[in-house]
Structure 1
Amino acid sequence: MKNEMDSKFILSIFEKIRENGEKKGEGYFLGGITAFSDYDGYTIFMEDQLVKLRFGFHNQYHFDYEKDEHMEQFEKKLNAINTDY
């Protein structure tokens, strides 16, 4: 499965999680997604129990997951956050 996601969408969801989510350690949790950044803030991460997203310089991103249905559920969570907040 080829994953193409708009970088503005990814950054928007990250900010919505930070603004509206519950603080958990170094990150924030909202709608089943945990969002956090590395120490300098240049790389951001969003993940649930089955999918991990790393987004960094030059709007490059990488998804790590085992099954397509895991990615589909992750995208549904991102879209729900986008719609609800």
Structure 2
Amino acid sequence: MKNSVDVRTLLSVYEKVKTQGQRKDNQCKLEDITCTESLDGYSVSLADDNVSLDINFHNTYHFHTDNDNPETTINQTTADIHNNNEAQVQAFLKKLMELDERY
């Protein structure tokens, strides 16, 4: 995946979910995006049903997808998993950008 992720936009989406979403326990949900914050406040997460995104201190980030582990996915090659992960991440990013525009 190309490094075209704008962390400022992601943090903007996080704030919108946090302030305008429904709070339940230690997370907030707006539409189908959930956000959480670490206890120390140094990292935040955004997630939907397929992808989660951890944004850490110093604007580092990491995506996790449903099928991160090729050993647990039956009948898929590593290339298939990479393509699926990329498609899931791109769909997730699109969803976040649309949410950012709506709110």
Q: So what's the TM-score if we normalise by structure 1? A: 0.90
Following the alignment from structure 2 to structure 1, what is the Cα–Cα distance between the partners of residues 32 and 12?
16
Which residue number in structure 1 is paired with residue 74 of structure 2?
A: none
The alignment status of 1:69 with 2:87, answered yes or no, reads yes
**Consecutive aligned runs of 4 or more in structure 1 exceeding 4 Å deviation:** none
- 8 Å CA contact 1:31–1:80 kept in 2: the answer is no
| CA deviation after TM superposition for structure 1 residue 2, in Å | 3.0
Deviations 1:7-51 (A, max 9, x none): 110110000001110112201001211001110111001111110
Following the alignment from structure 1 to structure 2, what is the Cα–Cα distance between the partners of residues 78 and 5?
11
SS of aligned partner of 1:77: helix
User: How many aligned residue pairs are there?
Assistant: 85
Deviations 1:43-78 (A, max 9, x none): 001111110100111100011124222112211210
User: % of aligned pairs identical?
Assistant: 35
- 8 Å CA contact 1:36–1:46 kept in 2: the answer is yes
The alignment status of 1:15 with 2:19, answered yes or no, reads no
Q: Which runs of 5+ in 2 are unaligned?
A: 68-83
Structure with higher Rg: it is 2
| CA deviation after TM superposition for structure 1 residue 3, in Å | 4.5
After TM superposition, the structure 1 = structure 2 runs for residues 6-85 of structure 1, keeping only pairs within 5 Å, are 6-65=6-65, 66=67, 67=84, 68-85=86-103
Higher relative contact order (CA 8 A, sep 6+): 1
Higher mean Cα deviation, 65-74 or 37-46?
A: 65-74
